[in-house]
Amino acid sequence: MVDIQTTNSFDTPELVQVRDLKKHFPITKGLIFERMVGSVRAVDGVSFTIRSGETLGLVGESGCGKTTVGRTLLGLYPATEGEIFIDGHNMRKARGEELLAIRRKAQMIFQDPYASLNPRWTVNSIVGEPLRVHKVFKSDKERSERVKELLSLVGMSSQLVNRFPHEFSGGQRQRIGIARALALNPLFIVCDEPISALDVSIQAQVVNLLEDLQDKFNLTYLFIAHDLSMVRHICFRVAVMYLGVIVELAERNEIFENPLHPYTQALLSAVPIPDPKKARARRRIILTGDVPSPINPPSGCRFHPRCPIAKDHCSRLVPEWRQITEGHWVACHEV
Amino acid sequence: MADRILEVKDLRTRFHIAEGTVYAVNGISFHLEDGETIAIVGESGCGKSVTMLSILRLLPIPPAEITSGQALYLGRDLFRLSEREMEQIRGKEIAMVFQDPMTSLNPVLTIGRQIGETLRVHLGLDKEAIHQRAIGLLDQVGIPDPAHRLNDYPHQFSGGQRQRAMIAMALACLPSILIADEPTTALDVTIQAQIVELIQRLKEQLSMAVIWITHDLGVVAEMAERVLVMYAGFIVEEARVDELYEDPRHPYTMALLAALPRIDRRRDKHLRSIPGAPPNLLVAPKGCPFAPRCELAFDRCWDEMPPLFQLGPDRRAACWVDVTTGKPF
């Protein structure tokens, strides 16, 4: 697979490099003599880079593998194949001290603010946990001070340290999750649908907070989401995934104003616009059918069974990942 | 003017729970015209679903209590009907599609059996007629190979197909009102687009009225003719769809629209966020529920809930302030 060298206006170095990443989950049968009968090819050859201080959006429908990419990147799932470099360290080869160092630099914010905080722990223990694990402070007192500082960073009162998660609303819990992710001064944060569980009026608060923190600490984000309007707002570049592969990648205005892949076009045309006149005037590409199973993905281009412009060769040949204009990459025979 | 097929007057619904009383719906009135599509929008807990469940008398009483109100369906008050009479209307004349098709379908019965049940109960058809009708319904909602798929169980359907099956069940008796409670929230955008198109097509074919409940202002713009905006159990604004988006008259609607990122525009600055959080519904409402988060609030807003002022035909807003000038009326 071709390496992605997306040159854009940023001169900053690449903080995250992913090459041909694959993550297959085995399907097994039999209780005693367990044997592998197939695999779910959740991520099947994905390459991208993220520059320091940049936000890369990773979008696609449920089951396309976007969350698996995020988790594999941080080592929460062991990768099946491919290379992951974070700040120059080889994530798949690192062990011991080096692995701990990478883990300090790369953190995660989870989708569900209810499931990602331990209900029996106080805010102090939750936000202080990474500090404790990595033995950052000698005394509990110093650690508590840092927790208070983190809470004020995310716009919460430092007097709330002894409360439990159930005492907070969804938006506040997500702030606690963000404070935890910031505890070790990371360089890179995977934000896995951080706002999709929140109400509209709260989403804007959390997104603005993430942007402020990025400016303040020069953070690099991988922003995984299915809300394309929010992705256009927050991301610098956007990668579109379909069934385990990236089909298109470009700078945000380029991809939203000039989408080239038929899947990206259909996906964007399906997003409702909160403007009745525009909504009526718009032409929609309605895709037929559902996303096929990643256990047995279609041959050739994975999108060909649902593609409105598919030709014969699309079912036979895997499309090449090519650069059409500077920084605009696409995998489609017909572009 | 078309006939009013449904008219709700001063509906109040409360829940009595261990922690106290939840003031879920606090005196709302609205109507639905024959063949019209209205949308009720609001965030979670604003009372939009409870309103619909109250009208259909699907809430468990207790803990729920409908303390006042009328729901006139073709002039008959649904709250005064016997349970038996209600059963003749629910599912037959007013049908509902729920948000989560996985929990609304019975996992151990085939799809065909579940569609058939509606037909058997309401229309008293025989087995063969039910079978033929069920095939026709699945075909109508766009499920390929309907004769075979009737024998499938819900887990064999994808999310979008399950929602289509739910719609087929709701349409089985050709209802005159379809209530769709966040029918696309659990679905991906491409599938959502399919379902929105399907319901719009069926509405035309069957000349139904549709009440679409959602939190998504994008979906509303696409399919509603008239919109009710709810906040903390009150209707705060009502308008025809174009007016609502071009010229919102309640600070909550304005803030909500300003907080939305837009896929059709280049980003300019930060999003305008709404400070604070929705009010605690365990406290009896006093004053305007949006006052603590409102930029335009003044003394009166804290003490007295504004009525829905009529601002034009089909146009009402519950605010003491004229938002076009920023000054009290």
Q: What is the pLDDT of residues A192-249, one digit of tens each?
A: 999 888 888 889 999 999 999 999 999 999 999 988 999 999 999 999 999 999 999 9
Residue A50, amino acid: I
What is the pLDDT, as a whole number, of residue A10?
52
What is the pLDDT, as a whole number, of residue A3?
38
CB contact under 8 A, A253 and B266: yes
Q: Which residues partner with A248 through β-bridges? A: A240, A330
**What CA–CA distance (Å, rounded) separates A196 from B35?**
33
**What CA–CA distance (Å, rounded) separates B221 from B241?**
7
Nearest to A205 among B217, B264, B273 (CB): B273
Nearest to B192 among A204, A270, A276 (CB): A270
The region of weakest confidence among A119-133, A263-277, B178-192 is B178-192
pLDDT tens across B42-78, in order?
988 899 999 999 999 999 888 999 999 999 999 899 9
Residue B111, amino acid: I
pLDDT tens across B224-239, in order?
999 999 999 999 999 9
**What CA–CA distance (Å, rounded) separates A260 from A334?**
9
CB contact under 8 A, A226 and B260: no
CB contact under 8 A, A205 and B264: no
Residue A186, amino acid: P
pLDDT band at B329 (very low <50, low <70, confident <90, very high): confident
3-state secondary structure of B126: coil
Mean pLDDT along residues B311-326? 89
**What CA–CA distance (Å, rounded) separates B119 from B129?**
9
Chain B contact present for A274, CB below 8 A: yes
Mean pLDDT along residues A128-141? 91
Chain A contact present for B127, CB below 8 A: no
Nearest to A273 among B190, B218, B267 (CB): B218
How would you classify the pairing of strands A89-90 and A81-86? antiparallel
What count of CB pairs under 8 Å joins A to B?
Answer: 125
Mean pLDDT along residues B183-194? 82
Residues constituting chain A: 335
Residue B217, amino acid: L
CB contact under 8 A, B267 and A226: no
Which of A275, A282, A284, A293 is most worth mutating to test chain B (most B CB atoms within 10 A of its CB)?
Answer: A275
Which residue from B132, B127, B315 is spatially nearest to B226, judged by alpha carbons? B315
Chain B contact present for A159, CB below 8 A: no
What integer best gives the mean pLDDT of chain A? 89
What integer best gives the mean pLDDT of chain B? 89
* Chain A: residue whose CA lies nearest to B45: A199
What is the pLDDT, as a whole number, of residue B309?
92
Q: Are A136 and A143 contacting, i.e. CB atoms less than 8 angstroms apart?
A: yes
Chain B contact present for A55, CB below 8 A: no
Enumerate the residues of chain A whose CB falls inside 8 A of the CB of residue B197.
284, 286
Q: Please list, in sequence order, all residues whose beta carbon lies within 8 angstroms of the beta carbon of residue B155, skipping any fewer than 6 positions away.
A: B107
Q: Is the pLDDT of residue B30 over 60?
A: yes
Which residue from B95, B88, B246 is spatially nearest to B179, judged by alpha carbons? B95
What is the pLDDT, as a whole number, of residue B144?
81
Q: Which A residues 221-260 touch B at CB under 8 Å?
A: 226, 228-230, 232-234, 252-253, 256
Nearest to B190 among A61, A204, A273 (CB): A61
CB contact under 8 A, A277 and B242: yes
Q: Is the pLDDT of residue A4 over 70?
A: no
pLDDT band at A8 (very low <50, low <70, confident <90, very high): very low
Residue B202 vs residues A24, B137, B253: alpha-carbon distances, Å: 41, 11, 30
pLDDT tens across B76-122, in order?
999 999 999 998 899 889 999 888 777 888 889 999 888 888 888 88
Enumerate the residues of chain A whose CB falls inside 8 A of the CB of residue B275.
205
CB contact under 8 A, A277 and B191: no
Chain B contact present for A272, CB below 8 A: yes
Sheet hosting strand A35-51, strand order edge to edge: A35-51, A14-29, A81-86, A89-90
In percent, the amount of chain B with pLDDT more than 70 equals 99
Enumerate the residues of chain A whose CB falls inside 8 A of the CB of residue B194.
286-287
* Chain A: residue whose CA lies nearest to B256: A201
**What CA–CA distance (Å, rounded) separates B94 from B81?**
14
Chain B contact present for A114, CB below 8 A: no
pLDDT band at A11 (very low <50, low <70, confident <90, very high): low
Q: Report the Cα–Cα distance between both ends of chain A, in Å, rounded.
A: 19
pLDDT band at B174 (very low <50, low <70, confident <90, very high): confident
**What CA–CA distance (Å, rounded) separates B306 from B304?**
6
What is the pLDDT, as a whole number, of residue A7?
40
pLDDT tens across A296-335, in order?
889 999 999 999 998 899 999 999 999 999 999 999 998 8
3-state secondary structure of B29: strand
Using the structure block, give the residue that is written with the tokens 């996985």: B102
Q: Is the pLDDT of residue A2 over 70?
A: no
Chain A contact present for B18, CB below 8 A: no
Q: Are A241 and A58 contacting, i.e. CB atoms less than 8 angstroms apart?
A: yes
The interface predicted TM-score of the complex, written ipTM, equals 0.81
Q: Which two tokens stand for residue A119?
A: 């209900």
Q: Which two tokens stand for residue A77?
A: 């799932």
Chain B contact present for A10, CB below 8 A: no
Which of B273, B280, B281, B295 is most worth mutating to test chain A (most A CB atoms within 10 A of its CB)?
Answer: B273
